[in-house]
Amino acid sequence: MADVVTGEPWLSPRALALLVAASLLLSQTAGSLYAELGRAVPDGVAALGNLLIALSVIAWFRAYTRAHSIAWVFDMGTFLLVLWFLLVPYYLVRREGWRGLGRVGVFVLAYAAAVLSGGVAARIGIALLRAETGP
């Protein structure tokens, strides 16, 4: 995730952390919207949401490992795509100890906040849609 010519990162780790939060919120809002409409979430939407979350976490983790000079093992990208929810906490706790566990806790809280706010956003969107079109 760096410019080919200068080698500078495109996004800072802080900006990538915001990308993770936005992907969590977007994924949960889409699922809640379908639930509010009384419909099952299509498989493609669920898969896209999961992929978006995984890729944003991988992008953040890549910037994190570069900033802390942590070498990636061979084929780490594939491992992360499949097992990001296990590997990222492992590396954080191994590298930072209790502080890393705190970062994992922040992610869990962000996920919970995304579930709650996604549901609220979906309900507001449905209410606005129904108010526009009538009962």
The DSSP secondary-structure symbol of 69 reads: T
pLDDT given for residue 2 in this prediction: 53
- For 27-68, what is each residue's pLDDT tens digit? 888 888 888 788 888 888 889 988 898 888 888 888 888 888
Mean pLDDT, to the nearest integer, of 58-87?
A: 80
pLDDT for 5 beyond 70: no
pLDDT for 123 beyond 50: yes
Which residue is it, tokens 């191994």?
Answer: 94
Crossing angle (nearest 10°) for helices 98-133 and 13-36: 40
Mean pLDDT, to the nearest integer, of 104-110?
A: 86
Band the pLDDT of 88: cuts 50, 70, 90. Answer: confident
Asked if residue 104 lies in contact with residue 86, where contact means CB atoms within 8 angstroms, the answer is: no
Buried b / exposed e over 6-24, threshold 16 CB at 10 Å, is eeebeeebeebbebbbebb
Delimit the domains of the chain by residue range: 13-133
Q: Give percent above pLDDT 90 in the chain.
A: 1
